[in-house]
Amino acid sequence: MIGKAESDVIKSQEDFKTEPLTPGQLVWMRFKRHKMAVFGIIILFLLILYSFGGAFFFSEAEANFTDTKIRLTAPSAEHPFGTDTVGRDIFFRTIYGGQISLLIGLSAVIVEVFLGVLIGAIAGYYGGWIDSLLMRFTEAMFNIPQLFLLLVMAKFFGNSVPNLNFLGREFSGSVVVIIVIIGITSWMYLARIVRANFLSFKEREFVLAAHTTGTSNLSIIFEHILPNSIAPIIVSGTLSVANAILSEAYISFLGLGVQPPTATWGNMLEGAYNYIETAPWLWIFPGLFIVLTVLSINFVGDGLRDAVDPHALVNAG
């Protein structure tokens, strides 16, 4: 016979029993502990809401409308962020400029991830002379200053693509050029990460078992090894969004990035150095959005890096 006190203890222990956490739940649990990463998510959400939600209330024509009579007007109730050197409202332009800056960051990272994963996977899986050739090419790309290559290629190809109409908006062709240029000059770090993961995983038992069953190389690469390497790819891709936005800002500041009438936070800074003291609103507001975006993405990337770390997951379990 079990006494009432013992029965209550057993019942209490059963009440506290929980199902084991899945890997996804463990990752989310660790990510939530990273307060700055959560803060970064909130800021990013607000920036996206500002950039894309604002388009429902203000048209792009308002963002591009020029009125030289009100040029360099200080922030006021009518123009909260002031006006630029040709009388365009900076508040409206930060809304539409944010859309393009975020679009460039995400699209450039898609190109970067595609190239980095493809080259790293082939090099790591096949090894031998293929690995040597691809890694020597990667090292050669490392030795070329990225900013210099961006400037040269943007200057050469910047005006070669006509303006594009997409989802009712007109984009200067330089947007596509900048996305491609940033993507093809940023994949090297990711390629080395993916290569290292493939070199490690291709000797694991589950890969050797797949070979013995006659599984094709493509299936092993994309269905067995790549899913196990997805965590560092996500972290690297997240951090690369911030780098892409900064790269666009660099070359747009120098007048070689996205060309008007398309606005970006980067090209809004072009020429602002001439008015650092007399019209500081020209650089404060677009600069602030760039800083907030880059910091938020870096916080989220740091949180993801901690959350998907396998040793941290073991400790959390």
Of 104, 83, 94, 56, residue with least CA distance to 292: 94
Judged by DSSP in three states, 166 sits in strand
Q: Are 171 and 264 in contact (CB under 8 A)?
A: no
For residue 83, list its beta bridge partners.
89
Contacts of 257 (CB under 8 A, 6+ apart): 154, 158, 174, 178, 248, 249, 250, 251, 264, 266, 267
Question: Which residue type, as a one-letter code, is found at position 23?
Answer: P
Assess contact for 149 and 185: CB atoms under 8 A: yes
How far is C-alpha 277 from the chain's CA centre? 33
Map out the domains of the chain as residue ranges.
24-54+89-316
Torsion-angle region of 82 (φ positive above 0: left; ψ -120 to 50: alpha; else: beta): left
Place of tokens 């203890």: 9
Q: Which of 228, 297, 239 is nearest to 23 (CA)?
A: 228
| Mean per-residue pLDDT over the chain, rounded | 82
Distance from the Cα of residue 159 to its chain's centroid: 25
pLDDT, average across residues 123-133: 90
Specify the pLDDT at position 16: 46
Question: Closest Cα partner for 44 from 299, 224, 273, 218?
Answer: 299
Q: What is the pLDDT of residues 25-59, one digit of tens each?
A: 777 788 888 888 899 999 999 999 998 888 888 88
CATH topology for 24-54+89-316?
Answer: MetI-like fold (1.10.3720)
Q: Closest Cα partner for 90 from 297, 288, 296? A: 288
**Do 248 and 158 contact (CB within 8 A), yes or no?**
no
Tens-place pLDDT, residues 269-290: 887 888 888 889 888 999 999 9
Which sign, positive or negative, has the C-alpha torsion 146, 152, 158, 160? Answer: negative
Q: How confident is the model at residue 61 (pLDDT cuts 50, 70, 90)?
A: confident
Q: How many CB atoms lie within 10 A of CB 4?
A: 7
Residue 70 is classified by DSSP as G
The β-bridge partners of 89 are 83
Q: Which amino acid is at 175?
A: V
pTM of the model: 0.80
Rounded to whole angstroms, the Cα distance separating 296 from 233 reads: 19
- pLDDT for position 166: 63
Residue type for position 162: P
Residue 121 is predicted with a pLDDT of: 92
CB of 172 closer than 8 Å to CB of 258: yes
Position 136 scores a pLDDT of 92
